[in-house]
Chain A
């Protein structure tokens, strides 16, 4: 087992790899973490996700723009691809599976992909339906996979109008399922009116919301570890 200093050094490498969108550094860091026998979950949260949190902050401060965010996301995936197979399933009391997609008539999926990434990181099973997804496909997929969460994304007002129909259908069949909507034309008011449980305005906000969510999971995990 590696000592604390070495562990810190590796996590810092992963974190900086994400922030400086350096895919090679993330890959190296992830391999080193595995070679040293470090905990994969820890490497993801204290390395990669911690970097993404900083990226979210840099975006808010307008130091980073959409291209940087996407490059950081690629770097994060480079590390995640190596660490993920070594992950233990996190026992958080939720099964954690999510159906996600961009609704019919819409091919914009940058925001959706960022949200999907954070679910990947958090260890959720993600059923990504892609973009331009027929409305009934969401309902069918939710029933089939029994996912607790459905995320609907739309960039255009014309495609957004399909959202309430999906929400209604899913809630009718499965009232406990949580539904998140996102995309430029959506709003908190619309989410409330349509009976959605969560909302994120655009790619960056979606990322922030998703980071918050993952941070919350991390807190749960830490508390659990402390109790042991």
Chain B
């Protein structure tokens, strides 16, 4: 099933990147029938507007699929999870990075974030899982970071280890989140921004991204 009409439709509605990946291997029993992940990204900073845009794009995707008789499940952006709901139990069963890498929209960088060739890590992501047999894009199976270690050197908490991600070794810890978090909590008390974000800003891909989006 051709996915191009869906991609064009979503891009016309404001999506920056849309890709389709075969995510079957990453699914647990409750959602195993939803073998395709539609990864949607917007290259805007994380604001209420960005999240609203993504949620709208997800609703449009669901509608598009439903009209063709297919099921879908939206995994909302991480910052828009109403955890009190029954359905929110399922959100943590799936991670946007899986959809993004499977859909060939980026790899997981040394900074632990999705890096897209054009926009770097300055993206906000959402996923729609579906049982529609959409044609899939070519996935990333390994890191394209190479020898670059800017984010490792600039990380103030030493959380970024410098490991290269690969699909074959999913259990490897790339970023020590405890260290990252400990820095965050310290910063909050100093009334600074909780996220330092150096690993995003120093990434050459993200810097190019800024140029591209202007």
- List chain A positions with a Cβ less than 8 A from chain B: 65-68, 70-71, 73-74, 77, 109-110, 113-114, 117
Contact = CB atoms under 8 A, between A and B. Distances in A.
A110 B71 contact: no
Contacts of A66: 30-31, 90
B83 to A, nearest CB: 12
B71 A74 contact: no
Contacts of B33: 65
B85 A74 contact: yes
A66 B12 CA distance: 32
A113 B87 contact: no
A67 B85 contact: no
A109 B88 CA distance: 12
B191 interface: no
8 contacts: A65-B33, A67-B73, A70-B90, A73-B87, A74-B85, A110-B89, A114-B86, A117-B86
Contacts of A74: 85-87
Interface string B31-42: 101100000000
A110 B28 CA distance: 14
Interface string B58-92: 00000000000001010000000000011101100
Contacts, number: 36
B72 to A, nearest CB: 9
Main secondary structure of the interface of B (DSSP, over half): loop
Main secondary structure of the interface of A (DSSP, over half): helix
Contacts of A65: 30-31, 33, 71
A74 B87 CA distance: 7
A73 B34 CA distance: 20
A109 B83 CA distance: 14
A109 B30 CA distance: 13
Contacts of A70: 85-87, 89-90
A26 to B, nearest CB: 13
Given A66-B30, A67-B30, A67-B31, A113 B71 contact: no
A77 B85 CA distance: 9
Nearest to A21: B87
A71 B85 CA distance: 9
Given A65-B71, A68-B71, A77 B86 contact: yes
A64 B85 CA distance: 18
Contact of B90 (A67, A77, A117): A67
A157 B31 CA distance: 22
Contacts of B87: 67, 70-71, 73-74
A58 to B, nearest CB: 12
Contacts of A110: 30, 86, 89
A6 B73 CA distance: 34
Given A74-B87, A110-B86, A117-B86, 17 more contacts: A65-B71, A66-B31, A67-B30, A67-B34, A67-B71, A67-B73, A67-B87, A67-B90, A70-B86, A70-B90, A73-B86, A74-B85, A74-B86, A109-B89, A110-B30, A110-B89, A113-B86
Nearest to B34: A67
Contacts of A109: 89
Contacts of A73: 86-87
B138 to A, nearest CB: 28
A205 B114 CA distance: 40
Given A66-B31, A67-B30, A67-B31, A113 B85 contact: no
